[in-house]
Structure 1
Amino acid sequence: MTQTVKETKVERIYNFSAGPAVLPLEVLEQVQRDLLSYPGAGMSVMEMSHRSAPFEGIIHTAEADLRTLLNIPANYKVLYLQGGASLQFSMIPMNFLPAGAEASYIISGVWAQTAYKEALKLGKARVAASTESENFTRVPTQNEIQIDPQDAYAHFTSNNTIYGTQSLVEPEVGDVSLLCDASSDILSRPLDITKYAMLYGGAQKNAGIAGTTLVIVREDLLARVPKNLPSMLDYRLMAEKESLFNTPSAFAIYVNGLVVKWLLSIGGLPEIERRNQEKAALLYAAIDASGGFYRGHSQLTSRSLMNVTFRLPSEELEKKFVKESTAIGLDGLKGHRSVGGLRASIYNAFPKEGVEALVAFMKDFQAKNG
């Protein structure tokens, strides 16, 4: 079961991988055209100096387009950093958790736990709410979240890739600075950036390829950065140098810029949200209509639009499902070991036709094995 790229003989399978993930075909084709020689440069982006005029044009255009897409106010800095979201887990407390202060973490999955554990290595942190006792089948509700007005910041993860849960509204934290790891749903829906002191995420799921991490941070937060931090871990220095203190992940920034342009060209975040809701609705409807043959992991109120997790009646059937679906070009459906079962990651660029193909396979598989 493959998708054919127009005007070529290349066939592509449907890639349900949780990340790195599927890219828009238009972006891949643009990368292909530019690969040997970026227009006006006479060389590939992979070869050019990050101090050169062509690359400065690439990174500045990428930032300007991102600001337009997300309606980012002027008092926020946009950074393109390295180390993925995982490095931000350490950088955040190093930069924004003063000695004697405490930060709160809302725990909704493994990556939120990891961020919390990294903060504990560097200062005082506490759990503001957690659904670990329920195997993270949902995100914490507002009335479960305990925030101290004196907290240095409150941190949450907006989408939980492993468990297939998502926070579609921001937690209310009063005047406390709200920080969000949005690695697996960044650029998937409209957001009010002014609700956040910092929003960050690796690019490799919805915003491009692995190698660069988008960080959107309010300027007043940078005033907290202590002196004498290692240069590469200093948000204020990275902002002052406009992400060019050292050689950045130039090619990843270039691809991110193309993805942002693609999102703008199709109608921006409202349109991509509509598409994502439509795809997810098709898949959840198939699960719900199966009479229990397929069982979703996440509770109805927390279902993710990005990662759909589900189980079958037995592990043997799950293995058979993965083997047979992979054989016909539905790849990457094996669930994470923490949850088991199946996981269909249907990020921004994943085509609706791929979801329809999966739903058809699910119905056929149930008819033969139910």
Structure 2
Amino acid sequence: MNRQYNFNPGPAALPLEVLEQGRDSFVEYGGQGMSILEMSHRSKPVETMVEETERLLLELIGLQGAGYRVLFMSGGASAQFALLAMNFLSGGKAGRYVLSGSFSEKAYEEALAVGAAEVLASGKASGWARLPNVDAALGNLTERDTAYVHLTTNNTIEGSQFKALPDTGDIPLIADMTSDILSRRLDWTKLAMFYAGAQKNLGPAGVTAVVAREDLLTEANAKLPTIFRYGTYAKNNSLYNTPPVHAIYMMKLMLEWTAAQGGVAAMEARSAEKASLLYDAIDASGGFYRGIVEQPDRSAMNATWRLPDEALEKAFVQEARSAGFAGLAGHRSVGGIRASIYNGVEVEACRALAGFMNDFRSRWG
């Protein structure tokens, strides 16, 4: 097979060796005489696999033994937008939302349907070209009136990324980290909870990892239907109902691969190198390529740019596809070009794309 350079935004590129491991164990898992797709989620091999996946994730981010649990859930980040509000918006407190792109807006809108939610800070007036100043907006928020502060750390569609986490003090900080989890080192203890759909840096689509402080789980709304409570998943080790077993197994393989590469520190260095290759091609183009996001806020996961007109953008995508580059069309809501360079994307893919960008500019610029 002639594998393409895969820049899809999610489901996204996975390392070939992870795919091959998944293939080789697909028919029979662990000498059990059947595929893991066929096993009961109550069986010891599946229970052990889920426990190991939780341990691996906590170890990679340095939270093993720090009072956090990992919950494996379904529905992607979109389900979490509603569930976190359902679990934590109570007692007259409001959820405070930082709006930095389309998905943070969706999270805010879901919270509005559940209870009290307010915009803490917004970058919408700039067309999402720059991130809002969260630290300045925190002001006089207190635990008495604020249930949590919600932040989307990386904006997949627009191509922006918060470089550091704000300090919210005693107010729980909850983050959607779907598109940049495990890509860089952070002070994870600033977060009371964070969640990520697997289909970008963690594995295939189908499972969502929720990492939450144990004390936060005990405070969640106990009046919800059982299946919607975070505490239910924690109490039952994510096995209250039948989970997406194979997706969790593939996440385990992806976590093992990440650890073998050198962990989060190595992923951070690779991400910086990959992003530099693309942003250098943009910045050296004399305006032929124009970054959509202002330089200080550019994402190391999703590089976005425009060309002089839409006709050239279509030509770029078409020629790129013919040359073996997949997934470069910008999101349908914003257009332009987007290269998603998650952990599974090799540095060589970005080097090849930068070369294609320079060649395209030399012919069309």
TM over 0.5: yes
How far did residue 39 of structure 1 move?
A: 2.3
Match of 1:180, SS state, is strand
Rounded Cα–Cα distance in structure 1 between residues aligned with 2:237 and 2:135: 39
1:167 aligns with 2:162: yes
1:222 aligns with 2:217: yes
| 2:111 counterpart residue number | 119
Deviation track 1:250-274 (CA, whole Å, cap 9, x = no partner) reads 0000000000000111110000100
| 1:193 counterpart residue number | 188
Any residues of structure 2 matched to 1:25-174 within 5 Å, and which? Answer: 25-74=16-65, 75-146=67-138, 148-150=141-143, 151-174=146-169
| 1:247 counterpart residue number | 242
Give the AA of the match of 2:132. Answer: P
Rounded Cα–Cα distance in structure 1 between residues aligned with 2:131 and 2:227: 33
1:305 aligns with 2:300: yes
Rounded Cα–Cα distance in structure 2 between residues aligned with 1:135 and 1:144: 20
Rounded Cα–Cα distance in structure 2 between residues aligned with 1:144 and 1:316: 41
**Equivalent pair of 2:167/2:190 in contact (CA under 8 Å):** no
RMSD: 1.1
Instruction: Give the structure-1-normalised TM-score.
Output: 0.96
1:16 aligns with 2:11: no
Number of residue-to-residue matches in the alignment: 361
| 1:342 counterpart residue number | 337
Instruction: Give the structure-2-normalised TM-score.
Output: 0.97
Rounded Cα–Cα distance in structure 1 between residues aligned with 2:253 and 2:302: 24
**Equivalent pair of 2:11/2:204 in contact (CA under 8 Å):** yes
How far did residue 143 of structure 1 move?
A: 4.5
Rounded Cα–Cα distance in structure 2 between residues aligned with 1:227 and 1:19: 34
How far did residue 144 of structure 1 move?
A: 4.1
**Equivalent pair of 1:149/1:174 in contact (CA under 8 Å):** no
After TM superposition, the structure 1 stretch with the greater mean CA deviation from structure 2, 287-296 or 69-78, is 69-78
**Equivalent pair of 1:106/1:145 in contact (CA under 8 Å):** no
How far did residue 228 of structure 1 move?
A: 2.7
**Equivalent pair of 1:165/1:304 in contact (CA under 8 Å):** yes
Rounded Cα–Cα distance in structure 2 between residues aligned with 1:217 and 1:267: 25
**Equivalent pair of 2:101/2:128 in contact (CA under 8 Å):** yes
Deviation track 1:196-237 (CA, whole Å, cap 9, x = no partner) reads 000101000000011110000011111222223111110011
Give the AA of the match of 1:120. Answer: L
After TM superposition, the structure 1 stretch with the greater mean CA deviation from structure 2, 225-234 or 329-338, is 225-234
Rounded Cα–Cα distance in structure 1 between residues aligned with 2:170 and 2:64: 18
Deviation track 1:64-112 (CA, whole Å, cap 9, x = no partner) reads 1112111114311110011111111111111111141111000000110
Out of 355, 360, 370, the residue aligned to residue 355 of structure 2 is: 360
Match of 1:145, SS state, is helix
Q: Work out the percentage of aligned pairs sharing the same amino acid.
A: 49
Consecutive aligned runs of 4 or more in structure 1 exceeding 4 Å deviation: none
Question: Are residues 73 and 192 of structure 1, via their aligned partners in 2, closer, same or farther at CA, if it must alter by over 3 Å?
Answer: farther
